[in-house]
Structure 1
Amino acid sequence: MRDAGLTRRHVGRLAAATVAGLAVTRRARAATQVVRVGIDLSLTGGDAESAVRIKYGAQLALDEANATLDGVRIEAATYDDGTATAGQYDPAQAATNARRMVGDDAMIAAIGPQMSGAAKAMAPILSRGGLAIITPAATNPDLTDPRYAPLYRPGGKTVFFRTVTTDAYQGPDLANYFAETLKVRALYVLDDSGAFGVGLADAFQRRASVKGMRVLGRDRLDPKAADYAAVLTKIKALGPDALYYGGVLMAGVKLVKQCHEILPGLVRGGGDGLVGPEMLTGAGFPAAEGWYATIASPHLADDPRARDFARRYRARFGIVPDDYAITSYDAGLVIADAIRRVHAADGGVTRAAVRDAIQAAKVDTLQGTVSFDANGDLRDRTVSIFQVRRDPTKPLDSVLDQYRYVGVAPTS
């Protein structure tokens, strides 16, 4: 009977210890707050390949953050704002994505979108929902211009941030290069009718006139049209030295192909909408050869500071990153830093607290210290110039290898 009593006491102690252990486990699990970060990009349509590279940059940053965050775990939620009907980004789909993000109580911040037209549809919704978003690629100046705050910032506080500069610099700085370095005297301007393309072409055109270049005309391309021969033939008859295109690759690929046939030998250039593997594989060579394009950030993809990132990126995803994969990675670093600071301050990571932390950010990233002005714009205004030059020894779709870095664009 004595042995049986000892056994009962032993079992009772084991049961108590088990219950206590389960309670500790439950408390530990409860202490880990799961938050979501949205990633909105144009994963369907003409810019999909570029979107994938940007997505991977964000994903890598968030995954690496999870390895070091204590008490918080980030889940990435991917949204596609491109549609087959639009053939590229679709503002209606972007707005739907924004509403879904705002309606998710666990969503505390987002990365994206890729395109300014999508951003214009999303910004008012995100503003009313108090959800901060950091774009690695959308450059239209209106989105952060205080004059348009009632339209894009109806909620009051800034929620739209960028890890790139804007077209207020990207367009004019290439105009400076055309005038000062390439000695262009007369040119023609095209855009693709999108928010990004129109704004970029406007900014370029205004600066071109200031620099003394004659703007012989301006036309708007329909991205869904198959043939731009009529407008290009008209431009040829005017005899310009150069052509500038504001827009993305849905129209850009066709334009590049037909320019090679109708306007050979002309100086040709555009903004970051012409930077992507689609330009290289869709337009192909020799059509793409010689085109100038800008990136609204420092060129870092082959910089020593980014070599380790590029190694990790390639090992994880099997492709080479581009500059906007880097700005996307940096956006992820900024959000992870905001989460870390908020959690350290009071333990609870909220949407409002993360927004405030992003606004006050001073984060060491691949492109240097990222900080934002009161309107959400990146304080660094660097614009980089590239020229497409075929390297037959490298993969055709490698942006890193087929776009030759020219240098930093001359500022206005």
Structure 2
Amino acid sequence: MILKLSALAVAAALVSACGKEEAKAPATATAPAAPAPVAEMVVKLGFAAPLTGPQAHYGKEMQNGVVLAVDEANASKPMFGDKPVRFELMSEDDMADPKTGTSVAQKLVDEGINGMIGHFNSGTSIPASKVYSDAGIPQIAMATSPVYTAQGYKTTFRAMTSDTQQGSVAGKFAVEKLQAKKVAIIDDRTAYGQGLADEFEKAVKAAGGEIVKREFTNDKATDFSAILTNIKGTAPDLIYYGGADAQAGPMVKQIKQLGIEAKFMGGEMVKSPTFVSLGGEAAEGAIASLAGVPLEQMPGGTDYAARYKAKFNSDVEIYSPYAYDATRAMIEAMKQAGSAEPSAYLPKLAAIQFAGITSSNIAYDEKGDLKSGGITLYQVKGGEWTVMETVQ
């Protein structure tokens, strides 16, 4: 009986102690758990162009335009639905070489890019386009060769007008405005140079001009004395070159040294400070065509030039505004789709319409060519490229 009472007493004491302990703890409301941060979505944009070698200045300026567009997009804190997004640029050097370009394309695809800006040259853009098409990845290239968008790939888009438009305007201008009735043509046998020269030749003939000589070189050459000597005997009014400034600069010097009295003309790869520097006094009077209107006449050209200068401490040359608009077009298509999945935003890109730097209406036709854009002719005067005329 005593043992039973003791056990009961102990139990009662424990219950009492527990009750007192509970009484000591004040009743508090449970604080709601903080929402888990939403993971940032990284969207990979590929880029490729010549970043080394004689065409590196083209590629680096193009890259600058892409970098500026990506940085500005990230600064705006973009969202796909409720997910924060950060764009990441993955750049590769294709060395303006078709074989390297294809390898670079496959590397970027394997690394999981969501979209591609580039390549620069038609000769690299065309073979690389199959790699991107097979992977279903949209590509906006600087390529101007008509072949690029004539392949029928749904993933190919242009950042500039094609050689068909540029060559036709330049050829007609040469005959009708420059009074060049006898024309000699040289091209560098690249997809760009030969394609542009072909379109120029067609336009010269259509305007009533005569092609007195057609010669070719390559994009590594520096000595053109043999082909220029052949051309000299035909006494041309104008020599047209389809190719880059690295060859055009030495070429105009040799034209002058041989005493050839002919105007010199080229495409947009000639319209650069590098050409003027390489050509020296012989560059004076040279003429070049370039897609679009002059920078100062572009809808956002003046403001873009100031932003570009502030970021890179250099002036806009040729290609960066087009690369900037191409990058913005791709990013805008992704925003509209709310997704970086290529199959989701590709239809949005094909139907895109927005006000860019280079045009007040960036839009593509069914092939991926830009729907609008004029051609401007420039001439070197006093060591500077100056506007001659814009043809819309």
* TM-score normalised by structure 2 residue count: 0.88
SS of the aligned residue for 2:180 comes to coil
* 66, 73, 78: which one aligns with 2:91: 78
- Higher relative contact order, structure no. (Cα contacts within 8 Å, ≥ 6 residues apart): 1
Q: How does 1:224-239 map to 2 (within 5 A)?
A: 224-239=220-235
Residue matched to 2:388: 406
1:127 aligns with 2:122: no
Alpha-carbon contact 1:292-1:388 (below 8 Å) kept: yes
Query: Could you tell me how far apart the structure 2 residues matched to 1:142 and 1:33 are?
Result: 36
Deviations 1:252-277 (A, max 9, x none): 23323312322454111011121223
1:114 aligns with 2:114: no
Identity %: 29
* 302, 306, 319: which one aligns with 1:307: 302
SS of the aligned residue for 2:100 comes to helix
Larger radius of gyration, structure 1 or 2? 2
1:295 aligns with 2:301: no
Residue matched to 1:270: 266
Distance 1:6 1:320, change over 3 A: farther
- Displacement of 1:336 in angstroms is 1.6
- Displacement of 1:127 in angstroms is 0.7
Distance 1:239 1:341, change over 3 A: same
Distance 1:140 1:5, change over 3 A: farther
1:65 aligns with 2:73: yes
* TM-score normalised by structure 1 residue count: 0.84
Query: Could you tell me how far apart the structure 2 residues matched to 1:170 and 1:254 are?
Result: 24
1:140 aligns with 2:126: no
Residue matched to 2:376: 384
Residue matched to 1:24: 36
Distance 1:3 1:308, change over 3 A: farther
Alpha-carbon contact 2:219-2:243 (below 8 Å) kept: no
Query: Could you tell me how far apart the structure 2 residues matched to 1:40 and 1:64 are?
Result: 20
Counterpart amino acid of residue 325 in structure 1: S
Alpha-carbon contact 2:166-2:290 (below 8 Å) kept: yes
* 351, 356, 361: which one aligns with 2:352: 361
Query: Could you tell me how far apart the structure 2 residues matched to 1:193 and 1:313 are?
Result: 33
Q: How does 1:4-403 map to 2 (within 5 A)?
A: 6=25, 20-21=33-34, 24-25=36-37, 28=38, 30=39, 32-68=40-76, 69-70=78-79, 71-82=84-95, 89-105=96-112, 107-135=113-141, 137-145=142-150, 148-149=151-152, 153=153, 158-281=154-277, 283-301=278-296, 303=298, 305-343=300-338, 348-366=339-357, 367-391=359-383, 402-403=384-385
Query: Could you tell me how far apart the structure 2 residues matched to 1:272 and 1:245 are?
Result: 11
- Displacement of 1:340 in angstroms is 1.0
Residue matched to 2:17: none
- Displacement of 1:131 in angstroms is 0.8
Counterpart amino acid of residue 406 in structure 1: M
Alpha-carbon contact 1:301-1:323 (below 8 Å) kept: no
Deviations 1:115-170 (A, max 9, x none): 100111211111111111112x310001112xx43xxx3xxxx1111121101111
SS of the aligned residue for 1:274 comes to coil
Counterpart amino acid of residue 60 in structure 2: V
Counterpart amino acid of residue 360 in structure 1: A
Alpha-carbon contact 1:256-1:288 (below 8 Å) kept: yes
Deviations 1:81-102 (A, max 9, x none): 11xxxxxx11111101111222
Alpha-carbon contact 1:301-1:326 (below 8 Å) kept: no
Alpha-carbon contact 2:377-2:389 (below 8 Å) kept: yes
Structure 1 residue runs of 4 or more that deviate by more than 6 Å after TM superposition: 1-5
Query: Could you tell me how far apart the structure 2 residues matched to 1:175 and 1:263 are?
Result: 24
Counterpart amino acid of residue 385 in structure 2: Y
Query: Could you tell me how far apart the structure 2 residues matched to 1:109 and 1:333 are?
Result: 12
Residue matched to 1:399: none
Counterpart amino acid of residue 315 in structure 1: A
- Displacement of 1:351 in angstroms is 1.4
Residue matched to 1:86: none
SS of the aligned residue for 2:347 comes to helix
Alpha-carbon contact 1:301-1:321 (below 8 Å) kept: no
Distance 1:4 1:38, change over 3 A: farther
Query: Could you tell me how far apart the structure 2 residues matched to 1:224 and 1:4 are?
Result: 91
- Paired residues, what number? 367
Deviations 1:24-69 (A, max 9, x none): 12xx2x2x31111111111112121122111111111111111221
Deviations 1:291-318 (A, max 9, x none): 1111122322464631111111100000
SS of the aligned residue for 1:63 comes to helix
The CA RMSD over aligned residues, in Å, is 2.2
Structure 1: gaps (5+ residues): 83-88, 392-401
- Displacement of 1:4 in angstroms is 12
